[in-house]
Amino acid sequence: MEHSNKVWFITGASRGFGRVWADAALKRGDKVVATARKLDSIAELKDKYGDNVLTLELDVTNTEQVKSTIAQAHAHFGRLDIVLNNAGYSLVGTIEEASAEDVKAMYDTNIFGPLAVIQAALPLLREQGYGHIMGTSSNLGHVTLPVIGYYASSKWAFEAIHESLAEEVKAFNIKVTIIEPGAYATEFGSQDSLKFAAGMDIYTDYKNQFFESLKNMERGDPNATPDALFKVVDSENPPLRFNLGANNLAWTEGAYNQRLASWREWQDVAVSAQGQPK
């Protein structure tokens, strides 16, 4: 059973895409459970939209809080049509610079947080007989950049988890979509959305050049994205992967063409390693 007026559960709703999408969903008449680590950061939504929004404090790295928040959200509106994992941040540092603790902390938010939300929501979605699990990944779920390689690695993991999930929950009438934004002018580049590994002098010039190159990158307008997102959530057959923005496809195609060319170049060597059939 699908609903024209949808009930959303959104993590990371205080800023960036989470805030834009929560606001847009409420404007079109949907209901939203908006969550953020600090309740005062989303209080304005409550003032603006009244009973159509439920604002809840949620740290996605706190699994017990995730469970209770999902249960409260479902009980409040009686259903959840869309569960959207949007909370996340980027770790800035070369592979050598970042500590294991830095990487684990980012994975707690970018991977284990969304997993906790999905695992808490699935029994409820199964019981109601439908649902749409969505997650904000990145074009960096397919390609990488230096200096933010650990962030990209979290998105590669995010992609694989959701691809497996999509097959596993298909029989329960639960859909899965990975949202893959390119570069956008959101607060994702703010200090709240970036954490910096301790630097090593040997990489200083390299990183400065990298950051300088990013300044020239074309960035999309996040406020132009809601209508595209609504087309996905309102579709009877939403895509597993959804590129957000104009520049992703060319970049991803280029990366995959390079991989295919390399695999083909080394195919004879690969075949030679097969041995005799057993």
Verify whether residue 27 is a known catalytic residue.
no
Verify whether residue 155 is a known catalytic residue.
yes
Q: What is the pLDDT of residue 4?
A: 75
Q: What is the pLDDT of residue 113?
A: 98
The active-site residue, picked from 90, 151, 153, 175, is 151
- Residue range 32-59, pLDDT digits in tens: 999 999 999 999 999 999 999 999 999 9
Q: Are 249 and 243 in contact (CB under 8 A)?
A: yes
Q: What is the pLDDT of residue 65?
A: 98
- Residue 173 buriedness (CB in 10 A; 0-12 / 13-18 / 19+): middle
- Residue range 104-153, pLDDT digits in tens: 999 999 999 999 999 999 999 999 999 999 999 999 999 999 999 999 99
Domain spanning 7-248: which superfamily? NAD(P)-binding Rossmann-like Domain (3.40.50.720)
Question: What pTM, to 2 d.p., does this model score?
Answer: 0.94
Q: What is the pLDDT of residue 187?
A: 54
Q: Are 183 and 176 in contact (CB under 8 A)?
A: no
Q: What is the pLDDT of residue 23?
A: 97
236 CB-near residues (< 8 Å, 6+ apart):
2
Q: What is the pLDDT of residue 118?
A: 98
Q: What is the pLDDT of residue 205?
A: 95
Residue 2 has pLDDT above 60, yes or no: no
Verify whether residue 41 is a known catalytic residue.
no
- Residue range 171-212, pLDDT digits in tens: 999 999 999 998 887 654 444 568 899 999 999 999 999 988
- Residue 194 buriedness (CB in 10 A; 0-12 / 13-18 / 19+): middle
DSSP assignment of 53-100: EEEEE--TT-HHHHHHHHHHHHHHHS--SEEEE----EEES-TTTS-H
The active-site residue, picked from 6, 155, 175, 207, is 155
Q: Are 59 and 38 in contact (CB under 8 A)?
A: no
